[in-house]
Amino acid sequence: MHRVKESDAWVLGSYRRLESLVVPAFTDYRLAATREAQRSAARVDLVALETDLPRDLLPFRDFVHGAHASAGDFAVQLSLVLRYLAAPLRYEPENLYFVHRAVPSPRCLFPCRILVVTRTTAADAPVVYAYHPNHHALEPLGPRSRLGALLGDGNVAVIGVGQFWMLADKYGEFSPFVLSLEAGMLRAQADHLARLVGWRRADSAAAGKALDEALDCGALETTVFAIAAIASGDDIEVGAAHRASVATWRPTAGLAERFPRLDTLAHLFGADARPMDVQIGTRAPIHGSSSARTDTAIDVLEVMRRRTSGNDKGGWAPAIRITDRALLDQLMHDFNALRSQRFALQGEASLSVYVALLNRSGYPIGLYDDRLQAVPLPLDERQFVRALQGALPSRDFRYNMAAFVLSVLIVAPAAGHAASKTPGIRDAHVAAGAVAQDFCLAAAAQDLFARPVRMFQEIELETAWRLDGRLVYQILAGFNRSSNLAMELL
């Protein structure tokens, strides 16, 4: 095993990746595409979830300012939360990624196992269920008395268990970085959904390692988020089970030999002894002005469906559209409003958010903070845009620069930062993923595509744009034309 310190991991996961990390997808993609975790089938008990769900629930304008909806009884609430968290929503035959989920999964390998814990009057201990997205059903796993601390005074919890091994055959030693960013996106989505259906915050006392042990996490697995809540209803039940065949996955052999640093990097991104964030609530004031530019009739579920679906084959078919100051003001207002409604994650307060405006849209091209206040740089507009173009990870992205409206950059403070405590590498990545999901939802409400990327050449922008810390995640946003046939699966 190769021992890696956290300070080393920050470097390995950025501009040194090509030299130092073993990543099949970036060395021989054709070979990597033929390898994936071992798949088999098993007969299990499944509890079918409600599929007669509302398509419209609450105006997005009301949701970003704290309103929640009446989503029916607990069965409907739980089904809706899980569907928009991880269930397949659309099939788009012309799109490279055939099944889209509520957050983007690398090559549609969903690397987080979703669990549900309920407390009922009929059981002495909390009952655990595994969610199977492709069946939109729950598999009963039995009672777990040790999960009482997680629920606290609540009666339902949604948990994400990250499976580093699910991505390892393609992303190798970079898998923990990818998984943690996506886990943060899932965490934000779960928080927004819980609030949408009216679940209230539960007082909980769960710890990361304790949850790992209570949920029997295996090698290269860890709890990545947990939300405990109080749902309406005195007696929470999820229905009767039936036997069905489901796909099961397990790690391929020889991961340790092929990827010597994977285990130690996964450990750095694993759960530690400190309490996990398990709450739902509010945290920060809203920054940015509202011009009421967002369509007041658009529903929050429609925004989530837009966020889920892809546009054109591969997601890149640009439509060059002139934006204006009002759109950008509303976009940033919605983004910050969503962040303010979601409970802050560990380390999130230390992150900085920058906005790079890439076309003339009422604001000059250049770098701004999340209040759209300009950040002075010694670069003209052409030099500014070329800095991003030179740091993008592929030629396809560079050819579509004309369609980009802006890029959001999420930056963690470097070690020894004077203004704030440096977050751990796990905390920084999960929190950055959550911030990214907030922005992606706000962008979808304005009909913008939003593509989160990890470029591996972050040092180029950190230097050219004088970013105050480490660039953890970037979101490229712009306009696409949508031409795909689509079929709702649920």
Q: Which domain holds residue 227?
A: 6-268
Kindly report the pTM of this predicted structure: 0.91
328 and 250 assigned to the same domain: no
CA distance 427 to 10: 12
190 and 83 in a common domain: yes
CATH number for the domain that contains residue 403? 3.40.109.10
- Residue 334 belongs to some domain of the structure: yes
Side-by-side strand order, sheet with 487-488: 99-100, 90-91, 487-488
Q: Could you tell me which residues are beta bridge partners of residue 223?
A: 161
Residues forming beta bridges with residue 355, ordered by sequence position:
368, 408
SS3 104: coil
Domain boundary among 268, 292, 320: 268
Pairing relationship of beta strands 156-163 and 112-118 according to DSSP bridges: antiparallel
The verdict on residue 487 lying in a domain is no
Which of 225, 245, 268 delimits the end of a domain? 268
Residue 247: predicted pLDDT: 85
Tallying the residues shown for the chain, one arrives at 490
pLDDT for 86: 85
> CB atoms < 10 A from the CB of 436, how many?
27
pLDDT at position 286 is 43
User: Is 121 part of any domain?
Assistant: yes
Q: Is 278 exposed, middle or buried (0-12, 13-18, 19+ CB in 10 A)?
A: buried
| pLDDT tens, N- to C-terminus, the chain (490 residues) | 567 888 888 888 876 555 678 888 777 656 555 567 788 888 999 999 998 999 899 999 999 999 988 878 899 999 999 999 987 666 666 655 555 555 556 556 788 999 999 987 767 789 999 999 888 999 999 999 889 888 888 889 999 999 999 999 888 999 999 999 999 999 999 999 999 999 988 888 777 888 998 998 988 999 999 999 998 765 667 777 889 999 888 899 889 999 999 999 999 998 775 656 654 444 444 444 455 455 568 999 999 988 876 544 444 556 667 678 899 999 999 999 999 998 888 889 999 999 999 887 779 999 999 999 999 999 999 999 989 888 876 666 666 677 788 999 999 998 654 444 678 899 999 999 999 999 999 999 998 888 888 877 888 889 899 998 999 999 988 886 555 566 666 5
Neighbours of 457 (CB within 10 A): 17
For residue 58, being part of any structural domain is answered with: yes
**221 and 356 in a common domain:** no
> How far apart are the C-alpha atoms of 391 and 200, rounded to whole Å?
43
Does 238 share its domain with 135?
A: yes
Give pLDDT, residue 33: 54
Instruction: Classify strands 156-163 and 366-369 as parallel, antiparallel or unpaired.
Output: unpaired
Does any domain span residue 294?
no
How far apart, in Å, do the first and last CA atoms of the chain sit?
Answer: 45
Q: What is the pLDDT of residue 16?
A: 57
Q: Is the dihedral of CA 285, 291, 292, 295 positive or negative?
A: negative
Please tell me the total count of domains within the chain: 2
* 135 and 38 assigned to the same domain: yes
Does a structural domain hold residue 463? yes
* Residue at which a domain ends, from 268, 283, 316: 268
Are both 258 and 349 inside the same structural domain?
no
